[in-house]
Amino acid sequence: MKILKASAWSEDQILNYLERADTPLRISCNQTDGYPLICSLWFVHKDGILWSASHKNSYLVKALKNNPKIGLEVATNELPYHGVRGKADTELIDDSSGKILGKVIGKYLQGGNESLSRWLLSRKEDEYAIKIKPISLTSWDFSARMDAP
């Protein structure tokens, strides 16, 4: 993966951040009508790859089938602002076993909200895993100029 020169963090720091991040991944892609779609996704990070899941009939899956190139961001919503953004290629992979879906549910629900977890897993036969392969990433960190609340 290519780290942009203007990055506030090193590649190791970026990968560590993605491993620990508990905010959703935001992606942008083009829909079939040419207009952008912005979507927040639960994700897990493994060896420089981000993994997510989406239902086969979702607007997101339709858009990614049409054009697998995305913009992405993982960032905090609280002061001091910092995060990672970049570009990536995606690949849709059948996840009818629920392997990736189960991992993202485990990360974000952490054993809570059993009814949502059961409902999501009840649809696993129709899920795609989204393999997100960053081609460039950069980070920003405004900690030095912003006070935390």
The identity of residue 35, as a single letter, is Y
Q: Is 48 part of any domain?
A: yes
Q: Specify the pLDDT at position 119.
A: 81
Q: Is 95 part of any domain?
A: yes
Report the C-alpha gap between 59 and 57 in whole angstroms.
7
User: In the chain, which residue ranges form alpha helices assigned H by DSSP?
Assistant: 11-20, 59-66, 99-109, 114-122
Q: Specify the pLDDT at position 81.
A: 85
Q: Is 105 part of any domain?
A: yes
- Per-residue pLDDT tens for 28-59? 999 988 899 999 999 999 999 999 999 999 99
The length of the chain in residues reads 149
Q: Is 27 part of any domain?
A: yes
Q: Specify the pLDDT at position 148.
A: 54
- Per-residue pLDDT tens for 89-124? 999 999 999 999 999 999 999 888 788 888 888 888
5 pLDDT higher than 80 = no
Q: Is 11 part of any domain?
A: yes
Say if residues 139 and 9 touch (Cβ distance below 8 Å): yes
What tokens appear for 146 in the block?
Answer: 């912003």
Give me the domain span that covers residue 113: 2-141
Q: Is 148 part of any domain?
A: no
Report the C-alpha gap between 21 and 83 in whole angstroms.
9
